[in-house]
């Protein structure tokens, strides 16, 4: 039987549940002693009826509370918020549950099975905030967050208890924030590259004029040419400093790991670069070994990693060159490759590349200055993602950076199918 009153089976609700749990003191009567059960703090000698105590919460919360009997594969309890979150009557959950599961994204259904299996077996105590995508008949996508734990009674009956929340608005907000952040990063890199070009041309012209007029005894002309060269150099450095500071500030924030489909995310991220190929004077390509690849990453930080690798490729690849991003799928991992046809990294500098304030830092082909921190920060961020980064490079041929991350585990079937 499914209960929808906000109470578990056998519970009763009373308006004075909290008062009964904590009776008032009279006169000089001392407060009852407290007993810690290991899970909650109880008052002795009379423990409260927790079903009644939490009844008002489950009755009015917008979070769905549930209890699922593993042996019979039936929902034994469901809170009223179910009707708000999923739009179906509580009494029809037995008929609706297969329909909801069928509407889950296929990748998320496998992910759900993989995460719940250790809980059912008692190998894991709880799984928290599993993010799942639900597709409705009107093509509307709903994001849900599931938390579940295993409960076993004295008879050995196993029940999954947990919560289900609608996080659609939060996910949409985060998606838009990440999208605009990615656009900002790409725009900064494109503007940096585009603005640096004319400034470097002016600087080179000033140097050429200075060489041609070296024999003229004109201090004013020499000072004007010096000011032109210094202004161009300072302007290019100012642009790069601004872009570098954006990267370093974003890299200092604590990681927030999410399950992300990387192929579509990188493809979307590269769109701004590909749309600006005529400004960058380079071709930007993307390919993948499969249609989908799931990893657990901080979306914003990983975009910063790719953005910084692209920035380096742009700085050291001559006009007319090509930059390729490829997603490979070696067993148990997802690998992102960023390959360019640039000038390459000298062999003597390669062992130092990931050092902090590395001596391997070099100005870009347009004179872009570097702090020597970028590759060190990238290495740190990749390591924090339980990944690894390495590169292959040959002078005059180009460089390929490899980032390898653990793939999200594949699913296993739950007991009983």
Phi, psi of 151 (to 5 degrees): -130, 135
pLDDT of residue 162: 92
Cα dist from 92 to 74, 82, 222, 262, whole Å: 12, 11, 87, 37
Structure tokens at 317: 């690849």
Residue 194: its pLDDT value, please? Answer: 58
Where are the domain boundaries for CATH 3.30.565.10 in the chain?
171-406
Give me the long-range contacts of 302-306 (CB less than 8 A, separation at least 24).
302/260, 302/381, 302/385, 303/178, 303/181, 303/182, 303/185, 303/265, 303/269, 304/185, 304/247, 304/250, 304/251, 304/381, 305/378, 305/381, 305/382, 305/403, 306/266, 306/269, 306/336, 306/338
Tens digit of pLDDT at every position of the chain (417 positions):
554 444 334 333 333 232 333 334 444 444 443 333 333 333 334 455 666 777 788 878 889 999 999 888 889 888 889 998 988 888 888 888 888 989 998 888 888 988 999 998 889 889 999 999 999 888 888 999 999 999 888 888 888 999 999 999 988 888 777 777 666 666 666 666 556 666 666 776 777 777 778 777 788 887 787 778 777 777 766 666 666 665 555 555 567 888 999 999 999 888 888 888 887 788 999 999 999 999 999 888 888 889 889 888 988 898 899 999 999 999 999 999 999 999 998 888 888 888 765 555 555 545 555 544 578 888 888 988 999 999 999 999 999 999 999 998 654 444 444
Q: For the chain, where do the domains classified as CATH 3.30.450.20 start and end?
A: 30-166
Peptide bond into 45 cis (omega under 30): yes
Size of the chain, expressed as the number of residues it contains: 417
pTM > 0.75: yes or no:
no
Q: Return the CATH architecture of domain 30-166.
A: 2-Layer Sandwich (3.30)
3-class DSSP state for residue 330? coil
Give the distance from CA 336 to its chain's centroid: 15
Predicted confidence at residue 213, as pLDDT, reads 80
Contacts 24+ apart (CB under 8 A), 192-197: 192/239, 192/240, 192/242, 192/243, 192/311, 192/368, 193/279, 193/280, 193/314, 193/315, 193/366, 194/279, 194/280, 195/235, 195/239, 196/236, 196/239, 196/240, 196/364, 196/366, 196/367, 196/368, 197/366
Contact 378, 384 (CB under 8 A): no
CATH class for the region spanning 171-406: alpha beta
Q: Which pLDDT does position 149 carry in this prediction?
A: 93
DSSP track, 359-417: TT----TT-----S-HHHHHHHHHHHTT-EEEEEEETTTEEEEEEEEEBPPPP-PPTT-
């Amino acid at each position: 039987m499914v209960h929808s009153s906000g109470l578990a089976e056998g519970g009763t609700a009373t308006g004075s549940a909290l008062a009964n749990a904590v009776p008032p003191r009279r006169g000089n009567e001392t407060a009852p002693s407290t007993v810690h059960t290991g899970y909650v703090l109880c008052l002795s000698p009379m423990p409260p009826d927790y079903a009644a105590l939490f009844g008002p919460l489950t009755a009015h919360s917008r979070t769905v509370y549930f209890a699922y009997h593993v042996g019979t594969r039936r929902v034994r309890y469901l809170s009223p918020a179910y009707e708000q979150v999923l739009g179906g009557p509580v009494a029809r959950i037995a008929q609706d549950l297969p329909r909801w599961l069928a509407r889950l994204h296929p990748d998320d259904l496998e992910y759900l099975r993989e995460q719940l299996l250790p809980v059912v077996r008692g190998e894991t105590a709880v799984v928290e905030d599993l993010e799942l995508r639900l597709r409705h008949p009107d093509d509307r996508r709903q994001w849900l967050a599931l938390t579940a734990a295993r409960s076993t009674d004295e008879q050995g009956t196993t029940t999954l208890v947990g919560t289900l929340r609608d996080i659609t608005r939060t996910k949409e907000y985060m998606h838009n924030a990440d999208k605009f952040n990615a656009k900002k990063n790409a725009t900064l890199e494109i503007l940096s590259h585009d603005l640096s070009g004319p400034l470097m041309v002016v600087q080179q012209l000033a140097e050429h004029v200075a060489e041609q007029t070296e024999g003229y005894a004109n201090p004013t002309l020499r000072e004007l040419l010096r000011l032109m060269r210094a202004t161009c150099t300072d302007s290019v450095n100012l642009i790069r400093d601004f872009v570098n500071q954006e990267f370093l500030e974003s890299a200092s924030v604590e990681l927030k790991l999410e399950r992300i489909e990387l192929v579509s995310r990188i493809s979307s991220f590269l769109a701004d670069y590909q749309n600006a190929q005529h400004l960058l004077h380079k071709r930007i390509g993307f390919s993948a070994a499969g249609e989908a690849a799931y990893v657990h990453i901080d979306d914003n930080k990983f975009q910063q990693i790719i953005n910084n690798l692209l920035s380096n490729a742009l700085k050291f690849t001559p006009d007319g060159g090509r930059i390729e991003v490829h997603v490979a799928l070696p067993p148990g991992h997802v690998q992102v490759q960023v390959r360019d046809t640039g000038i390459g990294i000298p062999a003597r500098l390669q062992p130092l590349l990931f050092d902090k304030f590395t001596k391997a830092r070099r100005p870009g082909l347009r004179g872009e200055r570097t702090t020597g921190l970028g590759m060190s920060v990238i290495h740190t961020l990749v390591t924090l993602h339980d990944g690894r980064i390495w590169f292959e490079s040959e002078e005059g041929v180009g460089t390929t950076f490899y980032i390898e991350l653990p793939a999200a585990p594949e699913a296993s079937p739950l007991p009983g199918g």
